[in-house]
Chains A and B, each alone.
Chain A
């Protein structure tokens, strides 16, 4: 999915989490994407769409041709997730703080209908500066949504700099704890820790779970890792080749 613009940094930080969700955890049938009993996934930090599209491609939901259409005028892959035109997308997102509320709505609907499905949503650590996130968090624990699992991509960087310099959203774990969540701190690049945390979320009753995943923005590409400049910028031809080499290694 080669492009001259996009959001590579925050996409690479969630790639490992998406891998576990889509290939180990979530109940999704690529042949029956509208199954009402499927688990739901909402990418509240919608700008990390490339990572989600890559995951849906690996899952066999998107084709190689679809992938080439990313951000192109007649393509089905918009800059941010679009549920109307892209198969496998449960909610359109892009304006930060909104996806998490729709996840709460899906979780409530699941409870109303006595469905077994679970709802997962990934939020950015900068995104949680949006007030709506805390409105949603308050309601998730008010309605005891134990079918809801939020994952905070804690890569410590937002567009204008480090979280701590721009607008300190720490302590993230204590905030969610005080909002009534089951909170788990993990290394967001350790498959075992991700799996274990998701398992704990499933076994927690009467409370939603927030997994605070410590991640590295630009993970796997040496010149992007932990660099604030790689939020909304794509690599040059030379950098692209180097990145692919490092990611393949």
Chain B
């Protein structure tokens, strides 16, 4: 992990779209009046003919994307996670997932790190909503390198993908040459005292905790679950067998998120206790780091939980 380089995954997303657009003329980007914040404006500047600002009309944006995809286009429909999943759940359900169309749903500003805008904009139920839908795949990248991979990977999948992105700049975890595999988690370390499963902007917090715990004589492993659906069952079972404690951390509700997905696997395949760290209520206004602290989403909280 390189803490001297900090990049928000939404920024990586915008840049990746531009690269993708250069290679594939069928890539279309849609936004709902937030292109400056979602960073789709990077694509818009490079390929204005293939960028559509649908205005403040997310339902229509999803429907338009669905229609375009039936004509061979690969639309990336983008907005804040709260609007591009919750507000348009029925459109994604009936116009995208039921016909299994090749539409990519891109939610930036997911989770509590939206900060000052508060609960109305802090989306904590998007993983829950999206994973319940048949045919939907979910990617939740943790840094710049992985986000750039995730966008290209999403374009390769012929079907719906939800990509969960974050507002805050976070440290670079992976070097540019790292190879990722769809549906396969990434294990840091082989410690057996605990496994911390993390996703998105919580992965670097888990890695920080791993460092701190060394001074306490505890050796844990951190697992970056970048593909939440389909989830890496084999790795979850392996960690459950090899490590003493199981902990999950996510910038999402503890109901129906990463922890719940892991819990589903454990219940069926290898029953074992899992401690879920995440939000248990609507969010609130404050500096991002203060909001995370308020909900116990910190490296210190992971350390306490392991000890």
Contacts and interface: CB of A to CB of B under 8 A. Distances in A.
Interface residues of B, number: 30
A101 B67 contact: yes
Nearest to A130: B59
A72 B41 CA distance: 48
Contacts of A106: 67-68, 70-71
A135 B54 CA distance: 9
Interface of A: 36, 42, 82-84, 90-95, 97-110, 112-113, 131-132, 135-136, 138-139, 142
Contact of A138 (B55, B67, B73): B55
A103 B69 CA distance: 11
A91 B66 CA distance: 9
B67 A104 contact: yes
B67 A36 contact: no
Contact of B59 (A42, A83, A110, A135): A135
Contacts of A91: 66-67, 70, 95, 99
B186 to A, nearest CB: 34
Contacts of A99: 63
A93 B52 CA distance: 23
A17 B174 CA distance: 59
B98 to A, nearest CB: 5
B293 interface: no
Contacts of A138: 55, 57, 60
B70 A98 contact: no
Contacts of A84: 98-100
Contacts of A36: 71-72
B280 interface: no
A83 B67 CA distance: 12
**Max chain A CB contacts within 10 Å: which of B57, B59, B60, B99?**
B60
Contacts of A95: 90-91, 93-95
A132 B52 CA distance: 17
Contacts of B75: 105
Contacts of B57: 132, 135, 138-139
Nearest to A109: B71
Contacts of B55: 135, 138-139, 142
Given A94-B94, A138-B57, A101 B68 contact: no
**Max chain B CB contacts within 10 Å: which of A42, A99, A102, A138?**
A102
B72 A105 contact: no
A127 to B, nearest CB: 13
6 contacts: A91-B67, A132-B60, A132-B91, A135-B60, A138-B57, A139-B60
List the 6 shortest-distance A-B pairs measured between CB atoms, nearest first. Answer: A101-B63, A105-B67, A102-B67, A109-B71, A135-B60, A135-B57
B50 interface: yes
Contacts of A83: 70, 99
Interface string B63-101: 111111111110100000000000000110111001110
B282 to A, nearest CB: 25
A212 to B, nearest CB: 21
A82 B98 CA distance: 8
